Amino acid sequence: MQNIELLSPAGDWECIEAACRFGADAVYIGGDFLQLRAKKAGFSREDIPRAAVYLHERGKKLYVTVNCFARNGEIDKCGEYARFLRDAGVDAAIISDLGVLCAFQDAAPELDRHVSTQANCMNWRTARLYASLGVKRIVLAREMTLPEIRELREKLDPSVELEAFVHGAMCMAYSGRCLISSYLNNRSGNRGECTQPCRWNYALMEEKRPGEYFPVLEEDGMTAILSSHDLCAVHLLDELKDAGVVSFKIEGRMKTAYYVASAVNAYRKCLDGVITKEEAREELERIQHRPYADGFYNGFVAMHPNNDGQYIQQYRFMANVLDWKDGVATLRQRNNFKVGDELEVLSPKRRSEVFTVTSIRNEAGEDMAYAPHPNQTLYVPCPIPLESGDMLRRKETNA
């Protein structure tokens, strides 16, 4: 899969480091202006240039999302922000709004512009219009099929790149444009404030039978009928490449560094031919996720068992590896584990391997039967050579 970009999300600095180490070619983040995620997932004006330097030193690229639809009072601020991102060394801005797109072109034409999936680009004529406005890349609407992508590619100037999502949470609304959160909670999903009411449990009530609730499935209680499955298109990477996609995007700027590392690791090794698509899918099952589906790529959404809105979690993140020397791993504990547990290694340089915890020692040299304190530094014998940045996880007994 040469010349294919693997694009990772990052909502904090730890995620940037994980994405970089586990094989992403580029990282996308939010800033402090018009980014379509909660504020905690936005990087400061000080950290964006730092992130650009960090990634460029490692041969990676940095994209910044500016993907809210702007109001009148925000348009005048776009020029200053465009110049800031350009001067910070950002490789491209990901933009939804036509007004913002034009404002960025006027203020900083040197900064590449990517059209966000929020812009709902579904056809070649729309893609040509964006190309005439000087965009470098189009992030395709999530509702497109493989034949539609192929036709769009054939009718679009080859200089304009195509990007498509291959993994992560999906919104039940059209390319993410949803008003449910605005209606129920006065918090707009189109302004980065979504409360995810589509993930809640609902029951069906007929208008003339108030108080009489009907199950959507033949089971007790309610069901999350609006909650979409997560996307997993690892088995379609060849087809997406053949259709003309050059950047494979993973969703998840609100996700943890462990999620980023696990997803990037699976797709990186699959793209490089280190593991098969089937093995990559097994690796992706180790991430906390809702039931997987392949979206609209095959022309329809396959009928799956109902999604109850709950996550599937087969493995749990246990510790970061800080160092390894003479058969002893120095760890930063993240979840409770104990002597006798089997821990699995997540590393970009090796396949998954398992070892048994035979002892745990704290910084004071005291032996511990279990590790109950998050972020505590611990020393654990490990026969597998580890490196700083590797991670350890444990299979859940009830998975």
Q: Residue 328 pLDDT > 60, yes or no? A: yes
Among 28-42, 193-207, 246-260, top mean pLDDT goes to: 246-260
Contact 27, 6 (CB under 8 A): no
5-170+228-293 with 316-395: one CATH topology? Answer: no
Report the alpha-carbon distance of residue 116 to residue 95 in Å, rounded: 5
Please report the sign of the dihedral spanned by the C-alpha atoms of residue 246, residue 37, residue 260, residue 321.
positive
pLDDT, tens only, 191-202: 667 777 777 777
Tell me the average pLDDT across 44-53: 97
Tell me the average pLDDT across 279-308: 81
Q: Residue 6 pLDDT > 50, yes or no? A: yes
Q: What is the pLDDT of residue 239?
A: 98
Q: Report the share of the chain in percent with pLDDT over 90.
A: 73
Contact 72, 97 (CB under 8 A): no
Q: Residue 5 pLDDT > 50, yes or no? A: yes
Report the alpha-carbon distance of residue 317 to residue 378 in Å, rounded: 15
Parallel, antiparallel or unpaired: strands 161-168 and 137-139: parallel
More reliable by pLDDT, 399 or 54: 54
Q: What is the pLDDT of residue 185?
A: 76
CATH second-level architecture of 5-170+228-293?
Alpha-Beta Barrel (3.20)
Tell me the average pLDDT across 272-277: 96
Q: Which residue has the tokens 């579904």?
A: 122
3-state secondary structure the chain: CCCCEEEEECCCHHHHHHHHHCCCCEEEEECCCCCCCCHHHECCCCHHHHHHHHHHCCCCEEEEEECCCCCHHHHHHHHHHHHHHHHHCCCEEEECCHHHHHHHHHHCCCCEEEECHHHCCCCHHHHHHHHHCCCCEEECCCCCCHHHHHHHHHCCCCCCEEEEEEEECCCCCECCECCHHHHHHCCCHHHCCCCCHHHCCECEECCCCCCCEECCCCCCCCECCCCCCEEECHHHHHHHHHCCCCEEEECCCCCCHHHHHHHHHHHHHHHCCCCCHHHHHHHHCCCCECCEECCCCCCCCCCCCCCCCCCECCEEEEEEEEEEECCEEEEEECCCEECCCEEEEEECCECCCEEECCCEEECCCCEECEECCCCCEEEEECCCCCCCCCEEEEECCCC
Structural domain boundaries of the chain?
5-170+228-293, 316-395
Tell me the average pLDDT across 48-64: 98
Provide the pLDDT confidence category of residue 175 given band limits of 50, 70 and 90: low
Q: What is the pLDDT of residue 315?
A: 95
Tell me the average pLDDT across 53-81: 96
Report the alpha-carbon distance of residue 120 to residue 98 in Å, rounded: 12
CATH homologous superfamily of 316-395 equals Translation factors (2.40.30.10)
Q: Residue 64 pLDDT > 90, yes or no? A: yes
Q: What is the pLDDT of residue 222?
A: 53
pLDDT, tens only, 160-173: 999 999 999 887 66
Q: What is the pLDDT of residue 32?
A: 93
Choose the weakest-confidence range: 48-57, 302-311, 330-339: 302-311
Choose the weakest-confidence range: 83-97, 223-237, 311-325, 372-386: 223-237
Q: Which two structure tokens, joined as six digits, stand for 317?
A: 């993140």
Q: What is the mean pLDDT of the chain?
A: 90
Report the alpha-carbon distance of residue 47 to residue 363 in Å, rounded: 32
Report the alpha-carbon distance of residue 83 to residue 345 in Å, rounded: 43
Q: What is the pLDDT of residue 218?
A: 43
Q: Which residue has the tokens 């654990």?
A: 380
Q: Report the share of the chain in percent with pLDDT over 70.
A: 89
Report the alpha-carbon distance of residue 68 to residue 132 in Å, rounded: 22
More reliable by pLDDT, 52 or 183: 52
Tell me the average pLDDT across 125-140: 97
Q: Residue 279 pLDDT > 50, yes or no? A: yes
